[in-house]
Chain A
Amino acid sequence: MNGAASSLLQIEVSEQDTGSRIRLAGSLSVQTLSRLDAALRALPTRPTRLDLSAVTRLDTAGAWAIVMLQKRMTDAGSLAEIDGANRQQLDLLKTVAAALPEIPPKQVTRPGLSERLATVGRAVAGGVTFLMELTGYLGIFLSRLGRAVLHPREFRLTALVHHCQEVGLRAVPIVSLMAFLIGVVLAFQGSAQLRQFGAEVFVVDLIAISILRELGILLTSIIVAGRTASAFTAAIGSMKMREEIDAMRTLGIDPAMALFVPRILALLLMLPILGLIANVMGLLGGAIMSWIELGISPAMFRTRLIEGTGISHVIVGMVKAPVFAVIIGVVGCHAGMKVGNNAESLGRMTSNAVVTAIFAVIVADALFSIFFAQMEI
């Protein structure tokens, strides 16, 4: 096609005393533009006549090349005239000449020190604003929760049950499997190390303390953050995108009451339960692996567990669950409300919500560790 296209265009240039004469024949189109433009750019600056009488097809690309030639010639103090064009072609040339964009030269400014500092400042201010907004959403959630206690009629029990099922029940298989495997891995790795000191039996303490205190609830929260924060953002965000949230407001429905409270409350109720399931499954996995690998019988595992591990570890672990739940819920709902009116922002905010929720959960866990260490619990 392109080989054929270039043969479609013939350019004859003849230099005369009075000026250049160019005879164009064939198709002046986007297909032949690169040849035509190169040929016209190579012309010397002197009075030029373009003969279009043998042109069979002229499209905007061809017209653009001719108009640009005329513009160059005029700017250089010369003239390019057109012969033999029909009315349609002249019309097109006129339209293209009129539409020729006047692009002002771009001002390229190198960012100075103050602008760089301003960028850093904006980033910090943006971070602070983000934290303040999250705090604001936490406040909205708490105030609406209080309102729901005072006015139980406004509370949507059906929505709460539905979200409990989505957030809690449907997450049980993945959380159980994850915790079971973590227990297996801990037992396996722990036994390999502890065997060197002949202290195999302490593998029970290792498994119990690490799972009950840290890993059970932390890993459950991370999985829930991935599953649920994104689901919250996607659901609320798509409602925001289709102006459903605005419609709710005009109908006198409070979006925070209708959307945030059931979701965050469902997380608040379900995350401790999921954490407990993860603890049990983690211990189960650890016990089975200890039995296979080290020959610690389930009865021995049980005795050692009860003797060696205080109930305080379970409490330390479980205390974190409601905090993580609120973090995940608030981050998910906030990101959903930040979605603009296009699908692209929905995708961006959904992935933002997951990253932020996981990060925030880990930061909170670190703060808890420091706190408990200071309190010597």
Chain B
Amino acid sequence: MDNEPIISLRGIRNQFGAQVVHDNLDLDVWRGEVLGVVGGSGTGKSVLLRTIVGLLRPRAGSVFLFGQDALAATEEERAMIDRRTGVMFQDGALFSSLTVRENIEVPMRAIDGLTPDLRRALADLKISMSGLAWSAGDKYPSELSGGMRKRAGLARALALDPEIVFLDEPTAGLDPIGASAFDALIKALSRQLGLTVFLVTHDLDTLHATCDRIAVLAEKRVLVSGTMQDMLNVDHPWVHEYFHGPRARAAMAAKDRND
């Protein structure tokens, strides 16, 4: 890990009308780590993700990506940042008029000198790496199941081998076997590619299996962040309930069995 954080948020304030979602929120993400963001419903986990990737401009505060002020960046600088990040939306957000392979080729079109054959071969590789059958490449998103759409969404997010990938609820709606496979996939990719992963999740198994560090959103800010061990010792009612509830215990037992 470098000394400088790859993502750095300072004093973020997000507000919709009179409703304040984030107030004076600070967060650092280090290069190469997998950060899991948790929080109750309505604490603005997805809003935070949208703020970092530039879909939502915060009312106040600053967002630093790769050490660069993303809010003050020019359009070209922003495009460069976007090329170094990838986002997987909750339901994949695949373009419905394109096949899976064409979806993955979309970001590659921005690269000069990539021939259609190279693009196609790389897209097939990404499809295969994300755990889809190669034949899925010719299918349209409407022909895929929810889990397959998520995998295709991940393949598109990874199309340009970004340095940071943002995942919004990657395992929500997957069966337990598919979810575990997805966790393993994220972990393996982050290790082999030196990928930084920012993932928003509710899934305690995912937190145990993949995350190096966890950030808890509550009271309009990042309440605490640290390893799973740190979380278990936090003395805050919600955090305690979250990490010591019956589901948490089951997830921990599963983790211990696997280790």
Contact = CB atoms under 8 A, between A and B. Distances in A.
Interface string A46-81: 000000000000011100100010000000000000
B121 interface: yes
Given A30-B111, A37-B118, A343-B96, A88 B191 contact: yes
Interface of A: 1-2, 29-31, 33-35, 37, 59-61, 64, 68, 88, 91-92, 95-96, 99-103, 340-345
Contact of B125 (A2, A100, A343): A100
Given A2-B113, A30-B114, A344-B97, 13 more contacts: A2-B111, A29-B161, A34-B115, A35-B113, A59-B193, A60-B126, A60-B193, A91-B191, A92-B193, A95-B129, A96-B125, A99-B128, A340-B142
B134 A102 contact: yes
A338 to B, nearest CB: 14
B33 interface: no
A280 to B, nearest CB: 46
Interface in B103-132: 108, 111-115, 118, 121-122, 124-129
B234 interface: no
A95 B131 CA distance: 12
Given A2-B113, A95-B188, A60 B129 contact: yes
A101 B125 contact: yes
B194 interface: yes
B80 interface: yes
B96 A59 contact: no
Contacts of B113: 2, 34-35
A64 B128 contact: no
Interface string B177-209: 000000000001001111000000000000000
Nearest to A104: B134
Interface residues of B, number: 29
Contacts of B97: 344
Contact of B142 (A91, A92, A103, A342): A342
A238 to B, nearest CB: 16
B258 to A, nearest CB: 20
B194 A96 contact: no
B53 interface: no
Contact of A34 (B114, B124, B134): B114
Contact of B192 (A31, A37, A91, A340): A91
B151 to A, nearest CB: 13
Given A2-B112, A64-B122, A101 B127 contact: yes
B122 A61 contact: yes
Contacts of B108: 30
A101 B128 contact: yes
Contacts of A60: 122, 125-126, 129, 158, 161, 193
A241 B108 CA distance: 33
13 contacts: A29-B161, A30-B108, A30-B161, A35-B113, A59-B193, A64-B122, A68-B121, A92-B192, A95-B192, A96-B129, A99-B129, A340-B142, A342-B142
Nearest to B161: A59
Contacts of A343: 96
Given A29-B161, A34-B115, A96-B129, A64 B121 contact: yes
Contacts of A2: 111-113
Given A64-B121, A96-B125, A103-B124, A88 B194 contact: yes
A31 B111 contact: yes
A342 B96 contact: yes
B163 to A, nearest CB: 10
B48 interface: no
Interface in B47-78: none
Nearest to B189: A95
A64 B118 CA distance: 10
A191 to B, nearest CB: 51
A30 B160 contact: yes
Contacts of A59: 161, 193
Contacts of B122: 30, 33, 60-61, 64
A13 to B, nearest CB: 20
Given A34-B118, A60-B126, A345 B192 contact: no
